[in-house]
Homo-oligomer: A and B are copies of this chain.
């Protein structure tokens, strides 16, 4: 334990006993995992994993699983069928696409980052024909662009879309309108919400999303290892007709087992405990407050970054509330910046991916994010930039962020 004493005013004429002192007792600084997933997990969730392992065909598991499903329906804002898969988020995408895309099926897909590329690749592996809307790695597809494609490609089967591009920090704000377009054109709407569910609004039933995928290690505040897939009746109709069906990710088989509140194969019980606890925390907080908390922290990040005259990848209304992607100013190497932030400030942030690999850092604004983590990250960023001889006014970013929290 270290005690820092900060002297606010030292006056020659004052005796030591009369000094105005502020004493802060700081515990050793905890390392902050500010990645766009996996993220910091609360101690309550971590400790849940130490509960005894249970069989996955017994009443204890049914109770645990039932609680998870109930709370997931709350988070997805859905009345439809929810599945929790022992797999990473990409396993969830593999499942969603693999159950609906058959050889020759035409799928409309905007590509505007690494994760929409992954979705496209999976469609191709299923033998699907992609109708790609290729966008820059800072843009989001608009409802107009999707409407044009839907109008042109009358024989398309689905629209596949990443709601929040983890690689660029872009959120598709037109998603509700795209949902309407999908319905009007009798297209399925498949949404990858991995890096946003629980951190920003996504009332999937209201927005006409037919299949939605999420991951445990992002805004849900849980360790990695679980993916969630939600399926509505329009999607089931297509899934039931599929000529080729995946094995581990077979949704029809999962549906047979969910009737017994079970999974077809042995689930990661410890992670189910963690997810259950994380979801209970979400329910206690309430979705509205949770979205607002994410939005406020994101605004603080954007305000700080702007004040430091740094540029973000996304701008305007498509800026993500969960992933903050910051372009490196000239002369600053993102690997070195991350190294200084990690080693000197105990804060891990991510680099870029694909074409942005070397030119950005990405900060996760997810899960248990609060003013504390936000301020510490901005403070570390300011100091690390100075360490790397890119002068910024230390404290200016922090001050700009604080204004958001305390206005």
Q: Does A122 contact B (CB under 8 A)?
A: yes
Q: How far is the CB of A254 from chain B (nearest CB, A)?
A: 12
Q: Which residues of B contact A226 (CB under 8 A)?
A: 268
Contact of A270 among B121, B223, B246, B248 (CB under 8 A): B223
B52 touching A31, Cβ below 8 Å? yes
Q: Please indicate the chain B residues that have their CB under 8 angstroms from the CB of A55 in the complex.
A: 33, 35, 38, 348, 350
- Chain B's closest residue to A54 (CB) is B33
Say yes or no for A91: interface residue by CB 8 A criterion.
yes
Asked if residues B91 and A245 are in contact (CB atoms below 8 Å), the reply is no
Q: Which residues does chain B contribute within 8 Å of A56, judged by CB atoms?
A: 38, 224
A46 at the interface (CB under 8 A from B): yes
Q: Does A53 lie at the interface of the complex (its beta carbon under 8 Å from any beta carbon of B)?
A: yes
| Complex Cα gap A31–B55 (Å) | 12
Cβ B223 vs Cβ A269 within 8 A: yes
Bound-state Cα–Cα, A349 to B261, Å: 20
Q: How far, in angstroms, from A121 to B247 measured CA to CA in the complex?
A: 8
Question: Within residues 24 to 50 of chain A, which ones have a CB less than 8 A from any CB in chain B?
Answer: 31, 33, 35, 37-41, 46-47, 49-50
Q: A33-B55, A50-B50 are in contact. Are A94 and B248 (CB under 8 A)?
A: yes
A312 within 8 A of B: no
Q: How far is the CA of A342 from the CA of B57 in the complex (A)?
A: 13
Copies of this chain, complex-wide, total 2
Q: Tell me if A87 counts as interface (CB < 8 A to partner B).
A: yes
Our pick among B41, B54, B91, B267 for the contact of A53 (Cβ within 8 Å) is: B41
How many angstroms from the CA of A102 to the CA of B112 in the assembled complex?
32
Q: Does A244 have its Cβ within 8 Å of any Cβ on chain B?
A: yes
Bound-state Cα–Cα, A94 to B95, Å: 13
Interface string of A342-359 (1 = CB under 8 A from B): 100000101000000000
Known: A86-B86, A245-B125. A266 touches B37 (CB 8 A): yes
A275 to chain B, nearest CB (A): 11
**CB distance B225 to A265 under 8 Å?**
no
| A217 within 8 A of partner (CB) | yes
B86, A88: Cβ atoms under 8 Å? yes
Cα separation A39 to B52 with both chains bound (whole Å): 10
Given known A-B contacts A86-B91, A87-B87, A91-B86, A49 and B270 have beta carbons under 8 A apart: yes
- 1/0 per residue, CB under 8 A from B, across A168-183: the answer is 0000000000000000
Give, as a whole number of angstroms, the nearest-CB distance from A105 to chain B: 16
Interfacial residues of chain A within 87-130, with CB under 8 A of chain B in the complex: 87-91, 94, 98, 121-122, 125
Determine whether the beta carbon of A224 is less than 8 Å from that of B33. Answer: no
When chains A and B are docked, how far (Å) is the Cα of A91 from the Cα of B245? Answer: 14
A274 within 8 A of B: yes
Once the chains bind, are B52 and A224 in contact (CB under 8 Å)? no
A223 CB to nearest chain B CB (Å): 4
Min CB–CB distance A77 → chain B (angstroms)? 25
Highest count of chain B CB atoms <10 Å: which of A40, A125, A274: A125
Known contacts A50-B47, A55-B33; A267/B39 CB under 8 A: no
B residues in contact with A38, CB < 8 Å: 53-56, 266, 269
Among residues of B, the one whose C-beta sits closest to the C-beta of A37 is B266
The CA-CA distance from A215 to B121 in the complex, in Å, is 28
Known: A53-B39, A225-B225. A98 touches B270 (CB 8 A): no
Please name 14 pairs of A and B residues whose Cβ atoms are closer than 8 Å in the assembled complex, sorted by A: A33-B52, A38-B56, A38-B269, A40-B53, A41-B53, A58-B342, A86-B87, A88-B266, A224-B268, A225-B225, A225-B266, A225-B269, A225-B270, A225-B271
**Which 6 pairs show the lowest CB-CB distances between chains A and B?**
A225-B268, A94-B248, A88-B265, A90-B265, A88-B266, A223-B270
Given A33-B55, A94-B246, A270-B271: 5 more A-B contacts, CB < 8 Å: A47-B50, A90-B247, A90-B264, A223-B270, A248-B249
